């Protein structure tokens, strides 16, 4: 049996090269504030993997995505073990575009902090008098650069994004940034409307895209998981205060309050319970 080693390890995912395709493995690691925590969250990787699959299937009418299969029978024998079962996705190989496509539908997190100081989010002027966690008049596309592990992404304006992408793809900066903006907003609106019907507010999220062999833009990485999005329960939602969440904001809040990098068992159990609850609400299926 041929053995494989990851050629790239991210904060929570590992990538294996199969030659003509990749296997992306969602681990049980969890990160917060750009730091990988010491304590894993059991089953988290499988929840994220299945949630991404659900959204990729749901949005394939808008843009093609990189998913080929999450069945390890479609992968080399090395991956047909309990360690990889349920948490692995076979994907296309793409040339990744160097932009994190962040979209904000509600004013929260760093966006709220920025708005309080200067009335803007990522340089975008907003109406006066907005409350914390209020729905924005229109979703905002606020891209950032993609930074290596351990470094912070940098927020960029649309104009700065064009210059940034132009460095990597000469003559394509404007075209690619406009396509990324339009796809990001279209994806967010469709998915946020769907989630709202099922009792979940998607406050913000981010998408990543790459190019296939023919130069087509393809949706990649993970999609609308509790790791890259803020999910709030619709029930009890009220602007003007912070919201309870289905995502890792739960972990962030604990770490901030306790100035710690270690999670106690009850926080781990509550976190995975929230992840599963979000999965089951969104997909209508029990997590198994």
- Give pLDDT tens digits for 163-190: 999 999 999 999 999 999 999 999 999 9
Calculate what percentage of the chain has a pLDDT beyond 70. 98
**What average pLDDT does the segment 76-93 reach?**
97
Could you report the per-residue pLDDT of 94-110, keeping only the tens digit for each? 999 999 999 999 999 99
**What average pLDDT does the segment 89-96 reach?**
97
Look at residue 251 in the predicted model and tell me its pLDDT: 86
pLDDT band at 10 (very low <50, low <70, confident <90, very high): confident
Bridge partners for 150 per DSSP: none
Residues 6+ apart with CB under 8 A from 275: 41, 43, 44, 47, 48, 226, 246
pTM: predicted TM-score of the whole model, two decimal places: 0.93
**What average pLDDT does the segment 18-22 reach?**
96
Look at residue 57 in the predicted model and tell me its pLDDT: 98
* Residue 148 clears pLDDT 70, i.e. is over it: no
Could you report the per-residue pLDDT of 24-36, keeping only the tens digit for each? 999 999 988 878 8
Whole-angstrom CA distances from 202 to 11, 42, 138, 237, 286 are 22, 24, 14, 12, 20
Reading the block at residue 71, the tokens are: 């069945």
Q: Distance between CA 195 and CA 198 in Å, rounded?
A: 5
**What average pLDDT does the segment 249-266 reach?**
84
pLDDT band at 260 (very low <50, low <70, confident <90, very high): confident
Which DSSP helix (H) or strand (E) runs through 181? Answer: helix 173-197
Ranges 80-94, 225-239, 244-258: which has the least confidence: 244-258
Look at residue 277 in the predicted model and tell me its pLDDT: 95
The three-class DSSP label of residue 246 is: coil
Whole-angstrom CA distances from 210 to 88, 98, 216, 221, 261 are 19, 9, 8, 9, 33
Reading the block at residue 265, the tokens are: 């068992």
Look at residue 150 in the predicted model and tell me its pLDDT: 59
Ranges 30-39, 56-65, 201-210, 275-284: which has the least confidence: 30-39
The candidate with the shortest Cα–Cα distance to 124, out of 97, 100, 158, 149, is 158
Q: Distance between CA 171 and CA 124 in Å, rounded?
A: 26
């Amino acid at each position: 049996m041929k053995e494989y080693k990851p050629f790239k390890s991210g904060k929570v995912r590992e990538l294996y090269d199969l030659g003509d395709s990749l296997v992306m493995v969602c681990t049980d690691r969890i990160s917060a504030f750009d730091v990988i925590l010491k304590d894993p969250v059991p089953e988290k990787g499988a929840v994220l993997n299945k949630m991404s699959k659900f959204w990729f299937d749901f949005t394939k009418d808008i843009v093609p995505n990189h998913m080929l299969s999450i069945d390890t029978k479609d992968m080399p024998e090395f991956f047909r073990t309990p360690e990889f079962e349920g948490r692995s996705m076979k994907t296309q190989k793409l040339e990744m575009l160097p932009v994190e496509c962040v979209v904000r539908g509600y004013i929260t997190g760093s966006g709220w902090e920025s708005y309080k100081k200067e009335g803007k989010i990522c340089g975008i002027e907003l109406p006066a008098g907005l409350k914390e966690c209020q729905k924005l008049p229109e979703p905002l596309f606020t891209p950032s650069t993609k930074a290596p592990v351990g470094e912070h992404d940098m927020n960029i304006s649309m104009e700065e994004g064009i210059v940034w992408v132009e460095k990597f793809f000469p003559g394509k900066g404007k075209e690619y940034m406009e396509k990324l903006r339009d796809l990001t907003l279209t994806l967010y609106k469709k998915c946020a409307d769907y989630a709202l019907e099922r009792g979940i507010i998607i406050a913000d999220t981010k998408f990543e895209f790459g190019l296939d062999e023919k130069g087509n833009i393809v949706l990649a990485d993970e999609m609308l998981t509790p790791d890259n999005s803020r999910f709030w329960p619709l029930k009890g939602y009220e602007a003007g205060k912070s919201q309870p969440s289905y995502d890792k904001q739960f972990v962030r809040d604990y770490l901030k309050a306790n100035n710690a990098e270690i999670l106690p068992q009850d926080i781990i159990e509550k976190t995975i319970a929230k992840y599963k609850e979000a999965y089951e609400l969104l997909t209508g299926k029990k997590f198994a």
